[in-house]
Amino acid sequence: MYNLKRYVIYITIIDVFDEYALSNAVREEIYKCYPNAKLAHLKSGGNFPYLSRSAEVNLHLQIHLRQFEDTEYAASEKTKT
């Protein structure tokens, strides 16, 4: 068993305001499980916002990954010039 309180975990929850399969109770439970998570809200997107709102989801992913630039966890490698 791991004690996650000793680790810093960077989480961004991407949520939609329109109807989707998760109930409000499940949504609130997710928020409770990750109280320090950043929240990214989309006006719409349904169950598959990465398909219907791909540009917005991509933007939120880029913002989330930006904090890892110039670290060993960077999503892309720097090219030498």
String of b and e for 23-35 (b: at least 16 CB within 10 Å)? eeeeeeeeeeeee
| DSSP states of 7-61 | S----EEEEESS--SS-HHHHHHHHHH-TT-EEEEES--TT-HHHHTHHHHHHHH
- For residue 8, being part of any structural domain is answered with no
pTM of structure: 0.75
- For residue 57, being part of any structural domain is answered with yes
Domain extent for 52:
17-67
Which helix (H) or strand (E) segment holds residue 64: the answer is: helix 54-66
Residue 73: the pLDDT is: 85
- For residue 43, being part of any structural domain is answered with yes
- For residue 76, being part of any structural domain is answered with no
pLDDT single digits (tens) 32-41: 999 999 999 9
- For residue 78, being part of any structural domain is answered with no
Per-residue pLDDT of the chain (81 residues; tens, 9 = 90+): 455 667 788 999 999 988 888 888 999 999 999 999 999 999 999 899 999 999 999 999 999 999 999 888 888 776 555
Q: How many domains does the chain have?
A: 1
- For residue 46, being part of any structural domain is answered with yes
